[in-house]
Amino acid sequence: MSATSLKGQLLIATPQLESPLFARSVVLLLEHSENEGARGVILNLPTTATMTDLAGKLFDDDFVWDKPLLLGGPVAGPLVVLHTRADMADLKIASGIYLALDATKSQELISSGTEPSLVIANFSGWEPGQLESELDQQVWLTTPADSAHVFADDDRDIWRTTLREVTAEKLKRMLNLRELPDDPSLN
């Protein structure tokens, strides 16, 4: 088992991943250690609920914000906010990507409509060694997270985009190319 932490990495489900919840998913790893396992959130699993639906129920204030609530995984957990504001961070995930765990900070970020941000309920978890085993079975690809991927526009398919980028980068390394053509099929 590797002692290298994958915190701040994106896990990109390969087509071999058979779990319906994780099929075509992109997971941002929030924590990862050899002794504690891993915890992350799915970035591309919106629910039908919006922040407007939560206003007045979970928060003191009523407000209108059509941002969807994301389902971060099958493990029950608190409502968290991924965002770019260092001053509201409880945890730095990667460069320019922060997590608000504190209920007061989360409420302030949500009620003010902070962008870019993602509001996520629940999380995904792996026991020690479990994620490493799944990586050995090649059901996940990894790449460093960046804010362009994490906070991508809703129009973009983050799974397809990141899978294509990681595959192209692996091909480039395998062929020892300095640059990969935009469309290798044209060669």
- The CATH number of residue 150's host domain is 3.40.1740.10
In-domain check, residue 187: no
**C-beta of residue 24 within 8 angstroms of C-beta of residue 72:** no
Is residue 1's pLDDT more than 50? Answer: no
Per-residue confidence band for 2, with pLDDT thresholds at 50, 70 and 90 = very low
Average pLDDT over residues 78-93: 96
Structure-token pair, residue 66: 């059509």
With respect to residue 185, please indicate whether it lies within any of the assigned structural domains: no
CB 84 within 8 A of CB 36: no
Which pLDDT does position 165 carry in this prediction? 87
pLDDT, average across residues 58-68 = 82
186: in domain: no
Q: What is the mean pLDDT of the chain?
A: 89
pLDDT for the residue numbered 187: 52
Domain count of the fold of the chain: 1
pLDDT over 90 at 54, yes or no: no
Domain residues for 112?
Answer: 9-180
Q: Is residue 2 part of a domain?
A: no
CB 26 within 8 A of CB 44: yes
Whether 177 has a pLDDT exceeding 80, the answer reads no
Chain centre distance of CA 106: 17
Please state the rounded mean pLDDT for residues 99-112. 92
pLDDT, tens digit (0-9, with 9 covering 90-100), for 112-136: 999 999 999 999 999 999 999 999 9
| Cα–Cα distance list, 60 to 107, 111, 145, 156, 164 (Å) | 9, 9, 33, 33, 43
Least confident of 40-44, 97-101, 103-107, 153-157: 153-157
For residue 54, report the phi and psi dihedrals to the nearest 5 degrees. Answer: -85, -25
> Is 159 within a domain?
yes
